[in-house]
Amino acid sequence: MNVATSAQKRTWLPLAVVLVTQMMIVLDAAIVNIALPDMQRALHIAPPDLSWVVNAYTLAFGGLLLLGARAGDLFGRRATFASGMVLFTLASLAGGFATAPGQLFAARAAQGVGAALVAPSALAILMSLYSDARARTRAIGYYTVVSASGAAIGLIAGGVLTSYVSWRWVMFVNVPIGAVVLLAARTALPRGRFTRGRVDVVGALLSTVGMTTLVYGFIRAAADGWSDAGARASFAVAVVLLATFVAVERRVREPVTPLHLFADRERSTAYVARLLLVAGSMGSFFFLSQYFQIVLGWSAMKTGMAFIPFPVTIFISSQLATRVLVERFSPKLVMSVGMALSAIGLLMLSRMDAASTYPQLVVGMVVFALGNGTAFVPLTAAGIAGVDPKDAGIASGLVNVTQQLGGAVGLAVLVTVFSTAGHGAATTAAATSEAKDVFVTGADRGLGVAAGLLAAALVLVLVAMRPRRPRPQEVVEDPAEQMVLEPEPA
């Protein structure tokens, strides 16, 4: 057996565990959307409170990501991963059995906490599996497929489960998958710690409360507008807390977030560009899922199936980027082309009207997905490039943080544009012809702004990104040799 075959056998199962885990996390942020009407009827959720089925998860996930990332570096990624997966799985079970709104909201928040522990450790573990740059890039390509298409797959799965089984299965579906992942993780994932040290308690509290407040501000802005007093107060408090957090991190010996990670120009540009790319991409799912149901009058099942071109195209384009483009062209060029295609796709979608047909829309959907799959591969690689192994967890956490913030920022901005342009467009299945026209007006304007966000990401990459120059003494080592191994229990 040659070395390459042996290495593949050692990494395929851990890779599968990480990818399934990432799919669960990303999918869970979207899968409940189509089930919301059924949840509302079954649990008698008041209309103003319905958004908390989604927001409770987003708030806990986004607020605790930095702390979850550092926990993996300090206490062992496999242990942190397992703890988060247990919490995520049990919370999913509890949510499926919920009989009151508060129980469902609490379960969704607990899922978010579990996801915040799992997500950074999963990506850091994935990167520790490969010492070969080409193999690592291919793994990032698979990770990209899952991350970029997870929302679309969530909409598809939500439509199928809600239509043929019950809304409760959008929660229950995580339980058997989580149990299998936990069993596989015990033997498949590497055991060990990269860093021994103490937790920066002050920094942890400031980052958690600051990030939670910031995400909450965007949630309030999306629901009540940017002039809402609660949103403005949240932003003000978040700025103070996060500024204090940065000041603390500059002084402590073992910070929650080592600030030197932002000194690398390529990496810091990749973080901001990812945030803008995700913010703009939110428009496609937010507006199209409503367009299919409100304007075209489709069922939840048919709406979910309409998104199949997204994951298929993203898979094809990400594999093309992984196996061909990044090996022949610079990462900067590949991500730039991807962002340009995504922006063009959104501009095509922004021309839809009440008479548009699915075949007309699917062209824009495919162009947009083609760009996303191409751009996310080099963006993810740039976000963790050149990171010291002991900081791999927090660097992976920052990749997830920018994705979560991008989603929150994008939703807040695009919903505000939509509401302003559409003058409070109706979002009910029984929309009148006039209401449909108003909805399309707002959606078109929102998709246009989304394309602008992607154009801003493109300009940022073209102007600011400078490839990282490796230091002469830098040597690529097998990450497994850098880990502090601990004996497995008998």
* Mean pLDDT computed over 403-432: 69
pLDDT at 421 over 60: yes
- The torsion angles phi and psi of 484, rounded to 5 degrees, stand at -90, 100
* Mean pLDDT computed over 23-49: 84
Question: pLDDT higher for 364 or 58?
Answer: 364
Mean of the per-residue pLDDT values for the chain? Answer: 82
Q: What is the pLDDT of residues 87-132, one digit of tens each?
A: 999 999 999 999 999 999 999 999 999 999 998 888 888 877 777 7
Query: Which of the residue ranges 312-321, 460-469, 481-490 would you say has the lowest mean pLDDT?
Result: 481-490
Instruction: Provide, rounded to the nearest whole percent, the portion of the chain with pLDDT above 90.
Output: 28
Just give the CATH number of 10-199+256-466: 1.20.1250.20
Q: How confident is the model at residue 371 (pLDDT cuts 50, 70, 90)?
A: very high
* Mean pLDDT computed over 425-431: 48
- What would the two tokens of residue 117 be? 């522990």
Please give the pLDDT value at position 133. 73
- The torsion angles phi and psi of 366, rounded to 5 degrees, stand at -70, -40
Q: Which of 126, 387, 389 is nearest to 266 (CA)?
A: 387
How many CB atoms are located within 10 Å of the residue 34 CB? 27
What does the domain layout of the chain look like in residue ranges?
Answer: 10-199+256-466, 200-255
Q: What is the pLDDT of residues 311-368, one digit of tens each?
A: 899 889 988 888 788 778 888 899 999 999 999 999 999 998 888 889 999 999 999 9
Q: Which of 64, 68, 117 is nearest to 88 (CA)?
A: 117
Q: Which of 57, 191, 179 is nearest to 121 (CA)?
A: 191
Q: Which of 319, 366, 371 is nearest to 343 (CA)?
A: 371
- Extract long-range pairs of 434-440: CB within 8 Å, 24+ residues apart: 435/294, 436/294, 436/295, 436/354, 437/353, 437/354, 439/290, 439/291, 439/294, 439/295, 440/291, 440/295, 440/352, 440/353, 440/354
Please give the pLDDT value at position 143. 83
Please give the pLDDT value at position 113. 93
Please give the pLDDT value at position 192. 58
SS3 per residue for 304-357: HHCCCHHHHHHHHHHHHHHHHHHHHCCHHHHHHHHHHHHHHHHHHHCCCCCCCC
Query: Which of the residue ranges 269-278, 288-297, 456-465 would you say has the lowest mean pLDDT?
Result: 288-297
Contact 77, 121 (CB under 8 A): yes
* Mean pLDDT computed over 64-83: 83
Q: How confident is the model at residue 10 (pLDDT cuts 50, 70, 90)?
A: low
* Mean pLDDT computed over 207-235: 85
Q: What is the pLDDT of residues 145-184, one digit of tens each?
A: 887 777 788 888 888 888 888 999 999 999 999 999 999 9
Please give the pLDDT value at position 134. 77
pLDDT at 439 over 90: no
Q: How confident is the model at residue 479 (pLDDT cuts 50, 70, 90)?
A: very low
Please give the pLDDT value at position 350. 92
* Mean pLDDT computed over 53-66: 84
Please give the pLDDT value at position 487. 37
Please give the pLDDT value at position 485. 35
Query: Which of the residue ranges 78-82, 220-224, 455-459 would you say has the lowest mean pLDDT?
Result: 220-224
Please give the pLDDT value at position 469. 54
Cα 169 versus chain centre, distance: 22
Query: Which of the residue ranges 277-281, 317-321, 478-482 would you say has the lowest mean pLDDT?
Result: 478-482
Cα 443 versus chain centre, distance: 23
* Residue 176 CB partners (closer than 8 Å, separation 6+): none
pLDDT at 474 over 70: no
Q: How confident is the model at residue 467 (pLDDT cuts 50, 70, 90)?
A: low
